[in-house]
Structure 1
């Protein structure tokens, strides 16, 4: 039997490990040379770079729908803390530095959390849907992703109204598993986020028109059986197109999926 990690010994040691990681991240940021985005502007910048809406309440296997309702609350609390932030040239966007604590004393409720391929409930759960949406938006811009944690080793639920290719998700945990991107351009970008009806909505705007369009597509998607288990395989590519000429500038591999399927596939024993 493999020896347990310190964080796996008990709930107390887990809390100690989380506290240590959070403090180390805070200390690291203090000494970081990064110029974190924090200024906001209520008036939208002139040009729309990309926009997308994410369905909040989704059918996820046997997950209690109350967790979906709580997630809607959590997202509605976090969105105003992010919206209208300006990411100026040379600046870094940090999700957790804007959102801050998701403690229950701030109104956050128990939502869905995913860890090591397992589903659980935790206060502030559901924030990964927020960074999933931001990540999808950022991938349609020239902004550079500098911190992105994946939880795509597992395919946890059957697809339900999927609009974004599998493998484009994010994994976050306040505050040491963050989602961050950097602005390497001479253009100022603005991220606008809000909750409306059934959707979490986001726009990335800019003070100059962008030169390229970005098209993201899954290819070679399939399920393969290895031993007694099924895996979801495939690749996700991004094609960069010059808006003026229509020429393809490059096609790049974003993700190569090899995820263990955690649900029963139809028409398969």
Structure 2
């Protein structure tokens, strides 16, 4: 990997705000003129077959981060989940995370939560919704649905803590230009169910037909290199094994690669 490409770029507040206006406007134009058929319908009646389910804990103690960020995140998640729960994706339709949720605002009940910004965290309205986009992305790559747009985190802010999924297996989000989009290129209808319990964010994909294949997502490569400007760069690739109904592996697919600037010192093994 070319470490020069990942050196952090310093931009003024004016430049950042101007960029937001430009890319948000570009996104609105794309939504309305790109010819995609976007998801609109909901159905409370569950489709008969579960394809994949997953849950993630709501509260997680992070180093040097006050817990009020976490509690406010739960408020934001509950509001966003109401927008996405029970959505159905017909063949040929596209799910857009931000098109379905809309802009998080105080008027809608969103509160300040933790927002990652250029390798640091700060308070922002609607903060914490990345947990929801992470969950949806992780579930989707265990289905035949196609992820057509996803953004990786540019900074690795917190050390791994009880990690159960590979590094880089989530999807960052920022209204509305960092979107998560999923297209149904199959002949079957899919349905997204989400709920916030007392302890977890829970989700599942369901389908109108019994799935033909199962998927195992794994980290194929992983390395850490020190860049010349002093930061460490973390890199990996994510693959998935495809198994048929008889649990026989029939394919091994490349999904994505991830680069992130580490904002903490990695634990390096001492050379013998």
TM-score, with structure 1 as normaliser: 0.88
Mapping 1:120-159, distance limit 5 Å? 120-151=122-153, 153-159=154-160
Offset, 1:180: 0.4
| Structure 2 CA distance for partners of 1:215 and 1:267, relative to 1, 3 Å | closer
| Whole-Å separation in 1 of the counterparts to 2:177 and 2:52 | 28
Q: Name the structure 2 match of 1:10.
A: 13
- Is the 1:50–1:140 Cα contact (8 Å) retained in structure 2? yes
Query: For residues 178-189 of structure 1, what are the structure 2 equivalents within 5 Å?
Result: 178-189=179-190
The Cα RMSD (Å) is 2.2
Q: Distance in 1 between matches of 2:93 and 2:23?
A: 24
1:44 aligns with 2:73: no
Q: Which position in structure 1 is the counterpart of 2:206?
A: 205
Aligned to 1:114: 116
Q: 1:38 to 1:18 in 2, by over 3 A?
A: same
Which region of structure 1 is more displaced relative to structure 2, 65-74 or 27-36? 27-36
Q: 1:24 to 1:232 in 2, by over 3 A?
A: closer
Residue 22 of structure 1 aligns to a residue whose secondary structure is helix
The C-alpha deviation readout for 1:28-86, integer Å capped at 9, x for no partner, is 22112111111000011100000000112112221221111111110011001100000
Change in CA separation of 1:101 and 1:154 when aligned onto 2, cut-off 3 Å: closer
Question: Does the aligned pair in 2 maintain the 1:59–1:160 contact within 8 Å?
Answer: no
Q: Which residue of 1 aligns with 2:29?
A: 27
**CA positional deviation for 1:234:** 3.5
Q: List runs of 5+ in structure 1 lacking aligned partners.
A: 1-6
| Residues 233 and 97 of structure 1, relative CA distance in 2, 3 Å threshold | closer
Corresponding position: 1:160 with 2:151: no
1:223 Cα deviation (Å)? 4.3
Q: For residues 10 and 236 of structure 1, what CA distance do their matches in structure 2 show?
A: 34
- Tell me the secondary structure at the aligned position of residue 214 of structure 2: strand
1:146–1:234 distance in 2 versus 1, CA, 3 Å: closer
| 1:242 Cα offset (Å) | 0.8
Structure 2 spans left out of the alignment, 5+ residues: 1-9
In the alignment, which residue of structure 2 is the partner of 1:190?
Answer: 191
Of the structure 1 ranges 42-51 and 223-232, higher mean CA displacement relative to structure 2 is found in 223-232
1: distance between equivalents of 2:152 and 2:109?
Answer: 27
**SS of the counterpart of 1:193?**
strand
TM-score (norm 2): 0.88
Residue 249 of structure 1 is matched in structure 2 by: 250
1:80 and 2:82 matched: yes
